[in-house]
Chain A
Amino acid sequence: MHIPDGFLSTPVWTAMNIAAAPAVGVMARRAQRGFDHERIPLLGVMGAFVFAAQMINFPVAVGASGHLLGGALLAYTLGPAAAAVTMTAILAIQALVFQDGGILALGANVVNMALLGVLVAWLPYRWWGAGRWRRPAIFLGAALSVMVSAAAAISQLLLSGIPMPEAILGVSLGVFAVSALLEGAITVAVAGALETMQPDLLRKPAGGSFAVGALAGGAVLLAVVGVLFASARPDGLERLAEDIGISEQASALVATPLADYEAAFFEGEWLRKAAAGITGLLLIFGACVAWGRFAARKRSA
């Protein structure tokens, strides 16, 4: 789901661009490490492959078909950093040449599909991709990648104050769930075919403890569900934020330097919503970091 320009509110697209820019820079450096410019043609051509994969239809039900979205497959074949760079390049070309997704919204789309989508796909594969859980891990990674991208996009739209009646929200989540399952099935089938044909094309998963993988996956799921819930019903978090006093501090912080210019623009409803949403994100992020630290310590102990 490519968000066009004009949909996201200013704080949301600004925040997403600020988040995406350094992350893409780090990914680009990681993807380049030790390869010089050798990987440029590979990444470019594989990006073109993901575009072209839209032409191949997979039958779903009578009269309905779907196609590969590709983030997970790229992660399993190129590695997460190179896959993130390739997906970013795809999104940039789509936004520029095909008017599919906006330029200001590029940061949001990159966060959703190139960063979250690829990393979420890589997690299960990295931990469970080696043993007898390989096929479920590939399926889970691909399905999660679509689901997480969609949930993040919906959260950003909700945070931007785009009204979505419950029924429409429910229907779109249902549609995304179906496409997530389909992406899982397609990715498993394509990865299986690749394995019989040319197994060296798929990356060797690092493997590791089942429990750590479960913890990481659980943290990601919790974060996505939490963010979606928080943006759909900001009231609870808002009250929490107000209780702690974050909301007032945040509005003081944002409003002061701009007070002379566009005070009215920065006041009121959306700021509280944005503050609540960002607070929620930070809380969840903190919880994930703490969880990760705990898991790592337990592992090394």
Chain B
Amino acid sequence: MRHAVLDEWSRRSSPLHRRDARVKIAALLVFLVTVAITQANFALLGPLYLALVAAGFLWARLPLGGALGRATVVLPFSAVFAGAAALAGDPHRAVLLAAKSYLSAAAVLLLVATTPLPSLLRGFEGLGAPRFLLTVAQFLYRYLFVIWEEALEMRLAAASRGGAGRNRGARFQAAAGLLAVLFARSHARATDIHRAMLARGFNGRFELLEEPCLRAADALFLLPAAALPLALRLALGGAA
């Protein structure tokens, strides 16, 4: 499954992996904003931005082709709107839409592929996001594939019971029943999990093995990482 690869990538070791999550998030935000406000001279700036992201993947010693290929998941959605823009007689905007969404996705991927999710969410907490929300998100990710597998198994079981029958209304009802059972099971599972966690002393917060702390190397990373795309944009992107 796709997630397993990302999890594995994010737990490797490289200078980029070792940087504090907060500075990586800050650098990503600067990059995303820079891409968002680039209009003119994109033919030159776009490839330069892409080169920056690619350099990041190489520095993190991650497979460049696999990573850049993975970022193409945004393209089907972008293609619809790019096509509409091209039809409306605005090919420049069509290219911008597709290229910007791809660049942004690749940059987010670089962050997620070099930061394990618990550290990443802790980084967002350090930047002011509500802890309750982030803990829910972490829980969601922890159980995502558990419930997913359960749904797959239930679907298989329903198919073996003859769920692919001819009557559409009956199949609709069967699918609804299946979801209701999945819902009730997930609900019951959540109760069990909560009891088990209470028994082990959960206090509403996930602990990291290492508390994050900012080092000089993090500052040294943030300066060029944030300044480079901005400088490119200011030097080559013109006023508009």
Contact = CB atoms under 8 A, between A and B. Distances in A.
Q: Is the interface of B mostly helix, strand, loop or mixed?
A: helix
A163 B90 contact: yes
B2 to A, nearest CB: 8
Q: Is the interface of A mostly helix, strand, loop or mixed?
A: helix
Nearest to B198: A38
B175 A57 contact: yes
> Which of B37, B132, B197 neighbours the largest number of chain A CB atoms within 10 Å of its CB?
B132
Interface in A8-66: 8, 10, 13, 24-25, 28-29, 31-32, 36-38, 40-49, 51-53, 55-59
Nearest to B120: A96
Interface stretch (A141-149, A189-197, A231-239): A189-197
21 contacts: A4-B101, A6-B103, A6-B104, A7-B100, A31-B132, A40-B135, A40-B136, A42-B187, A44-B137, A45-B139, A47-B137, A51-B147, A56-B179, A56-B182, A58-B176, A59-B168, A96-B120, A97-B112, A103-B28, A190-B176, A265-B239
> Which of A31, A52, A88, A168 neighbours the largest number of chain B CB atoms within 10 Å of its CB?
A52
A92 interface: yes
B193 interface: yes
Nearest to B39: A265
Nearest to B94: A163
Interface string A282-296: 000000000000000
Interface in B192-221: 193-194, 197, 202-204
A7 B32 CA distance: 12
B226 interface: no
A7 B28 CA distance: 17
Contacts of B155: 55-56
Given A190-B183, A197-B180, A4 B37 contact: no
> Which of B36, B103, B239 neighbours the largest number of chain A CB atoms within 10 Å of its CB?
B36
Contacts of B130: 24-25, 28
